[in-house]
């Protein structure tokens, strides 16, 4: 059985291009063959600004949206965040989603597919790596940066180039190594 890879679409704004990029990455990951990829769209989950009365470390969730999100993240073996860059940072929707949970993220490899203008979202990706390391996730240095992303959107679909695919392949190869290495620790999280 292949490890489960959640591909999390971070942007929730109208007119976003994240779903097109995530669809490309999902198809690429399926073709790669090292994972069972699944899309998770924060816009569909519609998480409000963190509204639980208890700290996420306690796992005493009172809201259905938190319980649903907890089960989604807990089922995953690895995560790829598909994210834009807003003011040198990830979008608030992603920061909020990460903050919703604690244990569910632990010992999970994390990759980033970032996009934007000239920088390709690299500052956002670096901020995410710092943030998730606090949750005992393994942020991969390998990633996919998509500069001037709008030039690669054709008829609503993202059209990857060779460099994009090379970066995605390198990230997935490394992610599989870390997923296998952390599997025992992830199983322990699921049993809690």
Cβ atoms within 10 Å of 16's Cβ, excluding its own = 16
* 77 confidence band (pLDDT: 50, 70, 90): very high
* 97 confidence band (pLDDT: 50, 70, 90): very high
Statement: residue 188 has pLDDT above 90:
no
* 192 confidence band (pLDDT: 50, 70, 90): confident
Question: What's the pLDDT score for residue 3?
Answer: 98
The whole-number average pLDDT for the span 36-45 is: 98
**DSSP of 73-117:** HHH-SEEEEEEE-BTTB--HHHHHHHHH-SGGGTT-EEEEEEE-S
What b-and-e string marks burial along 27-40, b requiring 16 or more CB atoms within 10 Å of the CB? ebbeebebbebeeb
Number of domains in the chain: 1
Question: What's the pLDDT score for residue 190?
Answer: 81
Residue 81 CA to its chain's centroid (Å): 2
Q: Compute the distance between CA of residue 173 and CA of residue 180 in angstroms, rounded to an integer.
A: 11
Which CATH number characterizes residue 153's domain? 3.40.50.360
pLDDT, averaged across the chain: 97
Q: Which domain holds residue 13?
A: 4-191
Q: List pLDDT tens digits, range 104-131.
A: 999 999 999 999 999 999 999 999 999 9
């Amino acid at each position: 059985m292949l490890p489960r890879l959640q591909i999390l679409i971070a942007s929730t704004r109208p007119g976003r291009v994240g779903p097109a990029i995530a669809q490309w990455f999902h198809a690429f990951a399926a073709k790669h063959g090292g994972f069972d990829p699944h899309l998770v769209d924060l816009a569909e989950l519609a998480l409000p600004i963190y509204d639980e009365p208890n700290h996420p470390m306690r796992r005493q969730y009172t809201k259905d949206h938190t319980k649903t999100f907890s089960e989604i993240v807990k089922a995953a073996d690895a995560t790829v965040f598909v994210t834009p860059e807003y003011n040198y940072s990830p979008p608030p929707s992603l920061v909020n989603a990460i903050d919703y949970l604690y244990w569910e993220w632990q010992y999970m490899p994390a990759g980033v597919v970032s996009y934007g203008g000239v920088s390709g979202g690299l500052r956002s990706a670096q901020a995410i790596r710092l943030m998730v390391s606090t949750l005992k996730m393994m942020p991969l240095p390998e990633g996919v940066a998509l500069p001037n992303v709008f030039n690669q959107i054709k008829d609503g679909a993202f059209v990857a180039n060779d460099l994009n695919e090379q970066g995605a392949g390198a990230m997935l190869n490394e992610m599989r190594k870390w997923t296998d290495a952390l599997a025992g620790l992830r199983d322990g999280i699921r049993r809690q």
